[in-house]
């Protein structure tokens, strides 16, 4: 039962027009099946439906070639990054469905498990729930999401044997198992092909029964995108002619508010900087790509290409670190095993609602794992600048952008202040040096209170 094929071109040769393909990959370069994507672009099948976290990088070539008519994704666009998907969707050349990451992996897992779908709390009271069946279990609302089955899956592994048994490494497992299970034909792109028996049976992360074809990687990943996200600027914005907290100072302030012991998830952007300020703390960091217990960003000479957080930062391993797939990562979130979630946002309003995945200027947007994170009952801390790049309030009376979650925000840390929601309203607990509570309130659209003395 030898499942090895000679080349990526041979592996994708039978893909017909109209096929559906699940494409693994977390971020722009982690675990992206670049060799298979390049071969598919050359093969030329059209009217494809792509199911993926995002379709940047190598996947964008299929869209640019007008080979794609539909997307089922967590990201169509990212801030300040050009997107072929958004451009084609805006022009009416393809349709898209936005799906939260945790829901996406569960829908593929359900398809592979022979189930009809799942009921999930993720997305309740947001646009994702529109026109979907809602049921209540133990008094809590859940929406029905149908299983996803695809014709093909392009996934990646560290190693595979000729029987199709796959071994993953570090936090690069993420979507691969669930995407492979949901496919009629799963094609695995690997760094190394070995003989049966060479992989310790305890390290098989995807059994060969789920795998149809194995092919050696021919195009190495472009890892420059991951490195880029580590270089966050540390300059301070000014308000009323005075400097506010820098991004690193905001992260340090947020870190000081985290409870111990605790499991904490850090979202994209400024929240990833919090990892720099947890030394000596009894806090374990969680990433939805499948990592628990990682440390601060890795120095250049410490980088392991397979070990990164959900924001794309290469990170260090702490003693006791654990790796798993994204299905398990989101199980931790939805089951209440994560204590605090730190997210960036576009808007937070008086009711504790948060919007962080789309703006009116975007086609689609980037849901990522945020909807899953706020649906799991964790304390939600928002870490963002006080006003946006156009000097508009981000702490508003009512969110005007599509909601990520309703009534879920407990703490907000901005570059001007720390606010905590108490008795139905936000209270100013701390302000940046040189500013007063009155100044913060004047720069805030929502009504806020002062902390009691």
- pLDDT band at residue 301 using 50, 70 and 90 as cut-offs: confident
Which residues neighbour 26 within 8 Å (Cβ) at sequence distance 6 or greater? 53, 172, 174, 175, 289, 310, 326
What are 331-366's pLDDT values in tens digits? 999 999 999 999 999 999 999 999 999 998 889 999
What pLDDT is attached to residue 220? Answer: 85
Give the pair of three-digit tokens for residue 452. 């009691």
Environment class of 377 (CB within 10 Å of its CB; exposed 0-12, middle 13-18, buried 19+)? middle
- pLDDT band at residue 28 using 50, 70 and 90 as cut-offs: low
- pLDDT band at residue 229 using 50, 70 and 90 as cut-offs: very low
Place of tokens 């993953």: 168
Average pLDDT, the chain: 94
Shared domain check, 284 and 146: no
Find the angle CA(365)-CA(371)-CA(375) to the nearest 5 degrees: 170
What pLDDT is attached to residue 230? Answer: 47
What pLDDT is attached to residue 224? Answer: 65
Please say which residue of 162, 189, 217 terminates a domain.
217
Between strands 283-287 and 340-343, the pairing is unpaired
Sign of the Cα torsion 80, 83, 89, 91 reads positive
- The catalytic residue among 167, 288, 350, 385 is 288
What pLDDT is attached to residue 29? Answer: 61
Query: Is residue 288 flagged as an active site residue?
Result: yes
Q: What percent of the chain has pLDDT over 70?
A: 96
Within a domain: residue 132? yes
> 261 preceded by cis ω (within 30°)?
yes
Q: Domain total for the chain?
A: 2
Kindly report which listed range (193-207, 223-237, 434-448) carries the lowest average pLDDT score: 223-237
Shared domain check, 240 and 203: no
Between 56 and 197, the more confident residue is 197
What pLDDT is attached to residue 392? Answer: 96
Place of tokens 């005075």: 242
Within a domain: residue 303? yes
Do the Cβ atoms of 408 and 354 come closer than 8 Å?
Answer: yes
What pLDDT is attached to residue 225? Answer: 53
Shared domain check, 95 and 30: yes
Nearest CA among 305, 277, 303, 282 for reference residue 293: 282
436 has pLDDT over 70 = yes
Q: Residue 418 is part of a domain; what is its CATH number?
A: 3.40.1080.10
Do the Cβ atoms of 298 and 304 come closer than 8 Å?
Answer: yes
Within a domain: residue 178? yes
What pLDDT is attached to residue 27? Answer: 73
Segments forming the whole domain that contains residue 376:
233-450
Q: What percent of the chain has pLDDT over 90?
A: 88
Mean pLDDT of 231-255: 90
Within a domain: residue 237? yes
């Amino acid at each position: 039962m030898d499942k090895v094929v000679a080349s990526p071109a041979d592996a994708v040769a039978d893909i017909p027009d109209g096929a559906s393909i699940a494409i693994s990959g977390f971020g722009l370069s982690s675990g992206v099946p670049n060799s298979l994507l390049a071969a598919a672009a050359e093969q030329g099948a059209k009217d494809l439906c792509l199911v993926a976290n995002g379709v940047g990088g190598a996947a964008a070539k299929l869209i640019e070639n007008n080979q794609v008519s539909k997307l089922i994704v967590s990201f169509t666009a990212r801030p300040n990054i050009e997107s072929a998907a958004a451009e084609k969707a805006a022009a009416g050349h393809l349709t898209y469905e936005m799906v939260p990451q945790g829901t996406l992996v569960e829908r593929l897992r359900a398809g592979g498990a022979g189930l009809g779908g799942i009921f999930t709390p993720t997305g309740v009271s947001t646009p994702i729930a529109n026109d979907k069946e809602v049921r209540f279990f133990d008094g809590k609302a859940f929406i029905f999401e149908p299983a996803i089955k695809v014709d093909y899956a392009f996934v990646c592994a560290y190693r595979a044997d000729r029987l199709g048994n796959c071994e993953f490494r570090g936090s690069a497992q993420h979507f691969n198992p669930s995407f492979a299970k949901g496919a009629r034909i799963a094609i695995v792109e690997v760094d190394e092909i070995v003989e049966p028996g060479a992989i310790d049976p305890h390290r098989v992360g995807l059994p060969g029964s789920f795998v149809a074809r194995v092919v050696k990687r021919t195009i190495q990943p472009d890892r420059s995108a991951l490195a880029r996200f580590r270089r966050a600027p540390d300059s301070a914005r000014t308000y009323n002619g005075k400097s506010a907290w820098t991004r690193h100072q905001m992260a340090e302030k947020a870190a000081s508010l985290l409870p111990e012991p605790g499991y904490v998830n850090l979202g994209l952007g400024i929240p990833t900087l919090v990892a720099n300020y947890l030394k000596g703390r009894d806090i374990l960091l969680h990433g939805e790509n499948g990592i628990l217990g990682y440390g601060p960003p890795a120095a250049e000479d410490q980088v392991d290409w397979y070990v990164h957080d959900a924001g794309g930062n290469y990170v260090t391993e702490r003693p006791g670190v654990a790796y798993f797939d994204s299905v398990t990562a989101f199980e931790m979130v939805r089951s209440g095993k994560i204590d605090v979630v730190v997210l960036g946002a576009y808007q937070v309003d008086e009711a504790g609602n948060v919007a962080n995945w789309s703006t009116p200027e975007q086609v689609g947007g980037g849901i990522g794992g945020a909807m899953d994170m706020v649906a799991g009952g964790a304390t939600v801390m928002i870490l963002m600048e006080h006003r946006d790049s156009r000097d508009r309030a981000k702490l508003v009376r009512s969110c005007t952008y599509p909601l990520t979650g309703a009534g879920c925000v407990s703490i907000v840390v901005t570059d001007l202040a720390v606010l905590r929601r108490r008795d139905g309203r936000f209270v100013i607990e701390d302000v940046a040096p040189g500013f007063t509570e009155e100044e913060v309130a004047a720069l805030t659209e929502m009504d806020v209170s002062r902390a009691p003395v």
